[in-house]
A and B are shown apart, each in its own frame.
Chain A
């Protein structure tokens, strides 16, 4: 990354944080907006957010590290998140998850297979998201057909 783009990034993050200055408890909305805009929360983002919201860097870092959703590295090209909640396990999600982790590269290059615990789709499991979109009644075959454009 060049210095110029780092500066742009910091400017953008500062602008995002500034938009929430009048919100009570602004940190979570700011972190969500940074994730949505930039895909992850980098070290320099934490510093910029702390500065704008008048928090300590340690405080912001502590919040980022607590929540599963906030990532500090850029995301993979594609993400498959499979539910390991009990309801999905009752219809075989654990085996589907294990097998999918083992064959992630068969779905395409740079595919990350993640676990989630319940997507609120517990009557139509196994459930999962593919690049953020919810799917029910998943199987290895359905995963293959839903990700076929990734090759």
Chain B
């Protein structure tokens, strides 16, 4: 079977990660050669990017780490030879859908990411899009809320709050005006799933928010995106325009009588604006200072109206739940952690990327089997799970199951599902210092323990690293952490002790390197 260039679709990811290692140059080279290029999302096998896929009648064949210089050769193979010749090419990784890294996963939220053309409404529909919205519009708002409650869906932004309960509160709070606000601030280091799902499958977010609007009785929605994500912002704006054109947004959606307008708002480089009340302040055009609770946003959110605030991944699980039923989603997972979690493997890891699996997989399986160990080839020493406010887990503790409850029992948290791997060259006292520094830089400034305490924390750890009064300073550090944990208005100050104290608990040798012998007895107090 001969392939000719113009009839063959060539997929070159437009995902920011792929672009960061040259995908735009590759796409331009294919286009210059007359190829029909689709800028898909990334399959999430990020160590293979740019991962180019060439579609034959049989399947999509993948080529890893393609550079501009490889394009002429690939064009030649495509235009003159057959499916089997593509598979034999030196850069080929075989049929992408058969890659074991993907086939062993259970992709629900990421089912379409990397597969579809993110700019095409028709492609979205052909891959099961809008089925959830159609079903939701045939149900009453209360029935939709019930379906989400039955699914067991919990917030993926970090706190794990049941989505159905939140929606019920918004639905039951009477108001002339209600809002849906999507938290796309994704500030945690080691996380990129929100970004990738929006870049690779933006209509899912739009569909999820429209279903939310119907369920809670909202007429207006806002997506709050961090400014560090220009590719995602562009993809989302393009998709929103297309959704309006095709009647999936705006007045009388699909003839149902539902009206819903969706706006994109861009953050401005403040980590704290991921905290939901700070995000609402920012959306209203103010400094991103955390609001005291109560009232909760579900009762008084944007412009004092009931507002359903959900993370991107929470929202993106909704269309599937409505399409297939809450029970189907609840069948996945373990204990009170239902459904799948999109894990993100990052940092010093050989095979980084997206691993979507039901809750309950072990950290070891993710880091060793999927991740393939460290990028440096050195032994793994620790992983930080759940972002900058998450705990450091030592390699000896990797058998912990990744669900909300098991992680909490292990003194850690799942957060947004980011896993950052470190090899044995990491200095954990420096990472503890960084946690305090990050808090001091990103604190909204509203409460003293967080604003001042974090700066004191940096100074204290500096003295420990310098070997000055180590024992006394370790006691001081412990006191500071206690003050932060108990005296902070939000989890920024409240959870900064988590990385600091877990680093000390599991790696005291990094803190006590310069300790004097007589210090040792006293330092036990702070552990």
Chain A residues near B (Cβ < 8 Å): 23-29, 31-32, 59, 62-63, 66-70, 84-91, 116-125, 127, 132, 134-137
B316 to chain A, nearest CB (A): 16
Chain B interface residue bracket vs A? 35 or more
Instruction: Kindly state whether residue B104 has any CB partner on chain A within 8 Å.
Output: no
Checking B191, B283, B348 against A91 with a beta-carbon cut-off of 8 angstroms, the contacting residue is B348
Checking B192, B347, B388, B438 against A90 with a beta-carbon cut-off of 8 angstroms, the contacting residue is B347
Checking A67, A86, A119, A123 against B46 with a beta-carbon cut-off of 8 angstroms, the contacting residue is A123
Checking A25, A62, A86 against B190 with a beta-carbon cut-off of 8 angstroms, the contacting residue is A86
27 contacts between A and B (CB under 8 A): A24-B284, A26-B285, A27-B286, A63-B285, A66-B270, A67-B270, A68-B270, A85-B388, A86-B431, A88-B189, A90-B348, A90-B422, A90-B423, A91-B347, A117-B187, A117-B189, A120-B17, A120-B228, A121-B17, A122-B346, A122-B420, A123-B17, A123-B352, A123-B353, A124-B17, A124-B47, A134-B231
Checking A69, A89, A121 against B268 with a beta-carbon cut-off of 8 angstroms, the contacting residue is A69
Q: Write out the residue numbers on chain B whose beta carbons fall within 8 Å of the beta carbon of A119.
A: 16, 228
| Prevailing SS type, chain A contact patch | loop
Checking A32, A59, A118 against B189 with a beta-carbon cut-off of 8 angstroms, the contacting residue is A118
Q: Write out the residue numbers on chain A whose beta carbons fall within 8 Å of the beta carbon of B269.
A: 67-69, 116
The verdict on A120 contacting B270 (CB below 8 Å), with A63-B286, A135-B20 known, is: no
Q: Write out the residue numbers on chain B whose beta carbons fall within 8 Å of the beta carbon of A27.
A: 285-286
Q: Write out the residue numbers on chain A whose beta carbons fall within 8 Å of the beta carbon of B384.
A: 86
When chains A and B are docked, how far (Å) is the Cα of A124 from the Cα of B284? 35
Instruction: Kindly state whether residue B71 has any CB partner on chain A within 8 Å.
Output: no
A63 to chain B, nearest CB (A): 6
Of listed B20, B229, B418, B442, residue having the most chain A CB within 10 A: B20
Total residue contacts A-B, CB cutoff 8 A: 150
Checking A70, A86, A122, A132 against B344 with a beta-carbon cut-off of 8 angstroms, the contacting residue is A122
B63 to chain A, nearest CB (A): 18
B188 to A67, Cβ gap below 8 A? no
Q: Write out the residue numbers on chain A whose beta carbons fall within 8 Å of the beta carbon of B348.
A: 90-91
A90 to B426, Cβ gap below 8 A? yes
A87 to B347, Cβ gap below 8 A? yes
Q: Write out the residue numbers on chain A whose beta carbons fall within 8 Å of the beta carbon of B514.
A: none
A135 to chain B, nearest CB (A): 5
The verdict on A118 contacting B187 (CB below 8 Å), with A28-B265, A70-B268 known, is: yes
A131 to chain B, nearest CB (A): 13
Which partner residue on chain A sits nearest B287 by CB separation?
A: A66
The verdict on A87 contacting B189 (CB below 8 Å), with A63-B285, A124-B49 known, is: yes
B285 to A120, Cβ gap below 8 A? no
A32 to chain B, nearest CB (A): 6
A51 to chain B, nearest CB (A): 15
Checking A67, A87, A132 against B346 with a beta-carbon cut-off of 8 angstroms, the contacting residue is A87
Instruction: Kindly state whether residue B195 has any CB partner on chain A within 8 Å.
Output: yes
A67 to B288, Cβ gap below 8 A? yes
A86 to B16, Cβ gap below 8 A? no
The verdict on A28 contacting B285 (CB below 8 Å), with A85-B190, A117-B271, A123-B192 known, is: yes
Q: Write out the residue numbers on chain B whose beta carbons fall within 8 Å of the beta carbon of A67.
A: 267-270, 288
B288 to A66, Cβ gap below 8 A? yes
Which partner residue on chain B sits nearest A53 by CB separation?
A: B285
Which partner residue on chain B sits nearest A25 by CB separation?
A: B285
B285 to A89, Cβ gap below 8 A? no
Instruction: Kindly state whether residue B303 has any CB partner on chain A within 8 Å.
Output: yes
Assuming A117-B388, A122-B420, what are 5 further A-B pairs, CB within 8 angstroms? A88-B347, A122-B347, A122-B352, A123-B345, A125-B346
Instruction: Kindly state whether residue B502 has any CB partner on chain A within 8 Å.
Output: no
Instruction: Kindly state whether residue B472 has any CB partner on chain A within 8 Å.
Output: no
Instruction: Kindly state whether residue B40 has any CB partner on chain A within 8 Å.
Output: no
Of listed A28, A32, A84, A122, residue having the most chain B CB within 10 A: A122
Q: Write out the residue numbers on chain A whose beta carbons fall within 8 Å of the beta carbon of B192.
A: 120-123
A87 to B438, Cβ gap below 8 A? no
B373 to chain A, nearest CB (A): 13
When chains A and B are docked, how far (Å) is the Cα of A113 from the Cα of B501? 32
A94 to chain B, nearest CB (A): 8
Which partner residue on chain A sits nearest B224 by CB separation?
A: A28
A39 to chain B, nearest CB (A): 15
A58 to chain B, nearest CB (A): 11
A66 to chain B, nearest CB (A): 4
When chains A and B are docked, how far (Å) is the Cα of A117 from the Cα of B228? 9
Instruction: Kindly state whether residue B239 has any CB partner on chain A within 8 Å.
Output: no
When chains A and B are docked, how far (Å) is the Cα of A87 from the Cα of B375? 12
Of listed A68, A84, A137, residue having the most chain B CB within 10 A: A68
Q: Write out the residue numbers on chain A whose beta carbons fall within 8 Å of the beta carbon of B16.
A: 119-121, 134
When chains A and B are docked, how far (Å) is the Cα of A59 from the Cα of B281? 13
- Residues of B26-67 contacting chain A, CB below 8 A: 46-47, 49
B349 to A123, Cβ gap below 8 A? yes
Q: Write out the residue numbers on chain B whose beta carbons fall within 8 Å of the beta carbon of A66.
A: 270, 287-289
Checking A25, A31, A123 against B283 with a beta-carbon cut-off of 8 angstroms, the contacting residue is A25
B388 to chain A, nearest CB (A): 6
Which partner residue on chain A sits nearest B186 by CB separation?
A: A120
Which partner residue on chain B sits nearest A84 by CB separation?
A: B434
Checking B189, B195, B266, B283 against A85 with a beta-carbon cut-off of 8 angstroms, the contacting residue is B189
When chains A and B are docked, how far (Å) is the Cα of A24 from the Cα of B229? 22
B366 to chain A, nearest CB (A): 13
Q: Write out the residue numbers on chain B whose beta carbons fall within 8 Å of the beta carbon of A122.
A: 189-192, 344, 346-347, 352, 418, 420
When chains A and B are docked, how far (Å) is the Cα of A88 from the Cα of B190? 9
B268-297 CB mask vs A (1 if < 8 Å, else 0) is 111100000000001111111100000000
Checking A68, A87, A116, A117 against B420 with a beta-carbon cut-off of 8 angstroms, the contacting residue is A87
